[in-house]
Amino acid sequence: MKTWIILLVAIVSEVIATSALKASDGFTKLGPSVLVVVGYALAFYFLSLTLKVMSVGIAYAIWAGLGIVLTAIIGWFLFEQKLDLAALLGMGLILLGVIVINLFSNASGH
């Protein structure tokens, strides 16, 4: 359970950093730029901790998959970026893949 919390912290840190990357306006705004650097540093640190227990492929698939979906949702709400049916369907498939890994894979470290 602790590994999953650490992985969730990595995912949330990455999503915050990526959202701040958009807000940094090409690193021209100091606050969001600092948040990018700190967020990515925390994301990779916490992701590295999960790799002590979980295989790199599974951890990265979950980290990247959930990061994609959460970042797209934040982009939709905060930056008014449109998500069409194909984007929503694709993200649904990503979430389904993460669920399949968590429920059925012995390699996921649970």
- Predicted pLDDT of residue 110: 53
- If you average pLDDT over residues 76-99, what whole number do you get? 91
The one-letter amino acid code at 14 reads E
Whether the predicted pLDDT of 108 surpasses 80: no
- Predicted pLDDT of residue 58: 87
Q: Which residues contact 109 (CB under 8 A, 6 or more apart)?
A: 3, 50, 53, 54, 55, 58, 59
- Predicted pLDDT of residue 33: 97
Inter-residue contact 89 to 97 (CB < 8 Å): no
Tokens read off for 59:
């951890």
Inter-residue contact 19 to 74 (CB < 8 Å): yes
